[in-house]
């Protein structure tokens, strides 16, 4: 990949950040609104979009709680953002185990905000905006180490996807 194309890839994620838990909608959202919200948040990553049927399957599989009166709250949105981002590197069974482990150690808002921080750092590292990936937080646990490696893998998948997209665009322009 040439220098110009690589810079386009790096710039494609400039300013990307995930909404923190307190920034998630405070009112319950209907399924269509949930899908639109999550897809808007994750679109810059180039991931497969979330669909209503996927949300229904995640509820059936116990990854997220059923909606209350057909409305999904902040906890469910946080889980759906996490699932949408990490499903490319974690199986459904491993997602279920990861969420179960999280529920035993941290509240959703703490775990989700920590995920956001770790993922954004991993993206900065994968896209070459920082030179090293330092540990964050004050506690050390196997769960945090697993999340760190999950975010690194996911960020690398996003980086590769952007590289392939840029190569395709360059090849199409040259034709």
pLDDT at residue 137, rounded to an integer = 66
For the cut 90, the answer to whether the pLDDT of residue 81 exceeds it is yes
pLDDT at residue 138, rounded to an integer = 66
Per the structure block, which two tokens stand in for 157? 């998948």
pLDDT at residue 7, rounded to an integer = 81
Segments forming the whole domain that contains residue 44: 3-174
pLDDT at residue 32, rounded to an integer = 97
For the cut 70, the answer to whether the pLDDT of residue 59 exceeds it is yes
Helix residue spans in the chain (DSSP H): 3-11, 31-42, 52-60, 74-86, 92-105, 108-126, 142-174
pLDDT at residue 66, rounded to an integer = 96
Which segment of 8-17, 51-60, 66-75, 144-153 scores lowest on mean pLDDT? 8-17
pTM, two decimals, is 0.93
Domain total for the chain?
1
More confident residue, 79 or 167: 79
CA 18/CA 6 separation, integer angstroms: 23
| Nearest one of 65, 63, 131, 127 to 97, comparing CA atoms | 63
pLDDT digits (tens, 9 = 90+) for 112-165: 999 999 999 999 999 988 898 877 666 778 888 899 999 999 999 999 999 999
pLDDT at residue 144, rounded to an integer = 87
pLDDT digits (tens, 9 = 90+) for 85-126: 999 999 999 999 999 999 998 899 999 999 999 999 999 999
pLDDT at residue 26, rounded to an integer = 81
CB-side neighbour CA atoms (13 Å) of 122: 24
Answer positive or negative: Cα dihedral of 72, 104, 151, 121.
positive
pLDDT at residue 42, rounded to an integer = 97
pLDDT at residue 4, rounded to an integer = 78
């Amino acid at each position: 990949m040439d220098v110009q194309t690589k810079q386009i890839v790096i710039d494609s994620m400039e300013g990307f950040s995930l909404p923190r838990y307190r920034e998630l909608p405070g009112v319950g959202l209907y399924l269509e609104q949930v899908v639109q919200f999550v897809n808007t948040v994750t679109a810059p990553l180039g991931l497969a979009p979330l669909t209503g049927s996927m949300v229904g399957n995640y509820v059936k599989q116990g990854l997220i709680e059923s909606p209350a009166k057909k409305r999904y709250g902040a906890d469910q949105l946080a889980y759906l953002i996490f699932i949408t981002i990490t499903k490319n590197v974690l199986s459904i069974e491993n997602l279920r185990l990861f969420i179960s482990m999280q529920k035993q150690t941290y509240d959703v808002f703490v775990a989700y905000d920590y995920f956001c921080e770790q993922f954004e750092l991993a993206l900065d590292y994968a896209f070459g905006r920082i030179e090293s990936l330092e540990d964050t937080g004050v506690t050390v646990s196997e769960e945090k180490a697993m999340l760190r490696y999950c975010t690194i893998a996911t960020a690398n998948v996003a980086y590769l996807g952007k590289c392939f997209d840029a190569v395709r665009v360059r090849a199409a322009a040259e034709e």
